Structure 1
Amino acid sequence: MQLLAAGGAPSIFAQMFGSGLIGLREGLETGIVVMILVAFVVKSDRRDALKWIWAGVSAAVAMVVVIFLIIHLGTSTVTTLTAELIAGLASLVAVVIVTAMVLWMSKAAAHISTDLKSGMSHALLTGGVSVMGLAFLAVGREGFETALLMVGYAESVSGSLWPLLGLLLGIVVAIVVTVLLYRGAVRLNFHKFFLYTGIFLIFVAAGILSYGVRALQTVGWLPGGSNLAFDISEHYDQSSWYGTVLAGIFNVRPDPTVLQVVAWCLYVVIVLYFFLRANRQRPPAPSDDGSATQAPAATDAGT
């Protein structure tokens, strides 16, 4: 199986850029959730609940790290074919979860703030453990998606550490942006941000799906491993800057199988259609200053 070897600057940039944008988007989604919960308890004069929110967030982060390490390290301690099988299955699971979350975010963005505040209101009445559980579930859901997506993404670019570094940098940037948003230092058009990064994630997920299909063909779980749709290896230099960038971000290869091409095309056409339709139908949400904006309701989370 031809995989991108880590080494050259274009390869490193491609792997870090793709995972960095994933970290930025997923980190900002998580940050918005935490920002809403924190702002709600502060405005409700229940600062005593903050420790339970941060406890839930910490537990969710710990769970995500454990899941990532179990899957990632597990593939490095088994035979090549078994690792290929695990990576292929993990890639397909990641694609399913990411697709569901991207489409869900498109529909739920307009009322996610209301839902979270309603849940926190009930949790505050129940007690600290309920607050912690709400924070854990809200953040854990986003983190679980990121962990699976990164396993599939990292495996598709040869399992080097550069994607992980890019992810961490993206998350750091997301944390900084979230803090600035909370303090009102910056404003962000959430609709455009999640629209464009959502489109990007769809194409990244399509590449991971293609990788997963090829991996399962390699171990014999799917047919057609020797049926190439085309082979432009003589004219397409995978070691060039464009080859490493396209392979590192979108898992493009010069010799895909017919099933890979069919899966990629069907995924992009179908998911992109539903994603764009959901975003087009979303009604404008009023912001704090009374202006209409396409941003999620999370824009009112600041204090």
Structure 2
Amino acid sequence: MFANYLIGLREGLEAGLVVCILVAYLVRTGNRSKLPPIWLGVGIAVALSLSVGAVLQFGSAQLTFEAQEMLGGTLSIIAVALVTWMVFWMRRTARHLKAELHGKLDQALAIGTGALVATAFLAVGREGLETALFVWSAVQATDDGSRPLVGAVLGLATAVVLGWLFYRGALRINLAKFFTWTGALLVVVAAGVLAYGVHDLQEASILPGLDNRLFDISATIPPDSWYGTLLKGIFNFQPNPSVLQATFWALYLAPVLTLFLRPDRPDRPDRPDRTTATSATSPTAQAD
């Protein structure tokens, strides 16, 4: 449940900050009348994300066992690739995100209403589709009833509240540190989802070695115990992984986490101070 809460919070807050920047910029530049197209684009993006999640959940139930495992394994690997790209993209571009969105919004204002809808849809839709795919993969990996979905919904709800507080200027946090630590946790979660995807592909007989176990500590950490459930819910922990699962887990986690937590290179003197873009000021204040 915690892992899915983290996914919902992280992805939801990214989308929420984008919306805050777009809305604040329109309000500050005297274009409040252009807000409805922005909300229309956001609404379409949310509806599309929910539709994709529903198709994945209910459509996969109609497949054979082998097809379900193949689909689950393939989508889990795709979800890991998307989330990995997303956390590195946000780490690299967060300092320039506001200026980039303002530029796109100026172009959309010059073109017309349709461009405003498209700008909001593309900005939010990417996060929404990533969230739908990764949450679905994580829910399948934990196999813990409705609790993972509840966790994701709670995370999204928390992100909405935080986004509103940012916009109102009532909340100030260090966004750079927030995205760094949540990104690192997401990398750990993604490693577990990747191992689950490998397991699914093994069950679909696409990858070998399903019965070649690296270890089996099911007697020490029973999967149905409270601590076994907790470890599985947070880290997708499996007490009897195959050698191939553990290999993929380690080969992903070690280099990706190392690269992600590697300190940035110092900015050159002729570049703007990046702390201005990653400071904890509200989007409303930054839109001046």
Which category of TM-score, normalised to the shorter sequence, fits these structures?
Answer: over 0.9
Alignment match of 2:167 (pick from 182, 191, 196)? 182
The 1:93/1:282 distance shift into structure 2, 3 A limit, reads: farther
In structure 1, what is the equivalent of residue 119 of structure 2?
A: 134
Contact kept, 8 Å, 1:283 with 1:294, in 2: the verdict is no
Residue 250 of structure 1 aligns with an amino acid whose one-letter code is: F
> Could you tell me how far 1:292 is from its partner in structure 2?
7.5
Alignment match of 2:217 (pick from 210, 215, 232)? 232
**Is 1:27 aligned to 2:9, yes or no?**
no
Residue 159 of structure 2 aligns with an amino acid whose one-letter code is: A
In structure 2, what is the equivalent of residue 281 of structure 1?
A: 265
Question: How does 1:67-216 map onto structure 2 within 5 Å?
Answer: 67-158=52-143, 160-216=145-201
- Distance in 2 (CA, whole Å) between partners of 1:120 and 1:211 is 40
- Distance in 1 (CA, whole Å) between partners of 2:257 and 2:144 is 28
Contact kept, 8 Å, 2:216 with 2:241, in 1: the verdict is yes
> Over aligned residues, Cα RMSD in angstroms?
1.9
Instruction: Please give the per-residue CA displacement for 1:241-279, whole angstroms capped at 9, x wherever unaligned.
Output: 2211111121111111111111101111121122112x5
Which runs of no fewer than 5 residues in structure 2 stay unpaired? none
In structure 2, what is the equivalent of residue 272 of structure 1?
A: 257
Answer with 259-268 or 150-159: which moved more. 150-159
- Distance in 2 (CA, whole Å) between partners of 1:125 and 1:232 is 62
Contact kept, 8 Å, 2:44 with 2:121, in 1: the verdict is yes
Residue 46 of structure 1 aligns with an amino acid whose one-letter code is: N
Which runs of no fewer than 5 residues in structure 1 stay unpaired? 1-14, 285-290
The 1:89/1:292 distance shift into structure 2, 3 A limit, reads: closer
- Distance in 2 (CA, whole Å) between partners of 1:294 and 1:204 is 30
Contact kept, 8 Å, 2:176 with 2:279, in 1: the verdict is no
**Is 1:43 aligned to 2:28, yes or no?**
yes
- Distance in 1 (CA, whole Å) between partners of 2:128 and 2:12 is 8
The total of aligned residue pairs comes to 281
Contact kept, 8 Å, 1:113 with 1:298, in 2: the verdict is no
Residue 168 of structure 1 aligns with an amino acid whose one-letter code is: V
> Could you tell me how far 1:110 is from its partner in structure 2?
0.8
The 1:267/1:79 distance shift into structure 2, 3 A limit, reads: same
Alignment match of 1:296 (pick from 254, 257, 278)? 278
Contact kept, 8 Å, 1:190 with 1:294, in 2: the verdict is no
> Could you tell me how far 1:298 is from its partner in structure 2?
8.3
Instruction: Please give the per-residue CA displacement for 1:204-248, whole angstroms capped at 9, x wherever unaligned.
Output: 000000000001011111111121111122222222222111111
Residue 226 of structure 2 aligns with an amino acid whose one-letter code is: W
- Distance in 2 (CA, whole Å) between partners of 1:135 and 1:295 is 21
The 1:85/1:127 distance shift into structure 2, 3 A limit, reads: same
In structure 2, what is the equivalent of residue 261 of structure 1?
A: 246
Residue 283 of structure 2 aligns with an amino acid whose one-letter code is: A
Residue 72 of structure 2 aligns with an amino acid whose one-letter code is: A
Contact kept, 8 Å, 1:35 with 1:302, in 2: the verdict is yes
In structure 2, what is the equivalent of residue 247 of structure 1?
A: 232
> Could you tell me how far 1:159 is from its partner in structure 2?
6.2
TM-score when normalising by structure 2: 0.93
In structure 1, what is the equivalent of residue 207 of structure 2?
A: 222
Determine helix, strand or coil for the equivalent of 2:190: helix
Determine helix, strand or coil for the equivalent of 2:95: coil
Contact kept, 8 Å, 2:41 with 2:120, in 1: the verdict is yes
- Distance in 2 (CA, whole Å) between partners of 1:254 and 1:294 is 45
The 1:281/1:258 distance shift into structure 2, 3 A limit, reads: same
Contact kept, 8 Å, 2:172 with 2:282, in 1: the verdict is no
Residue 40 of structure 1 aligns with an amino acid whose one-letter code is: Y
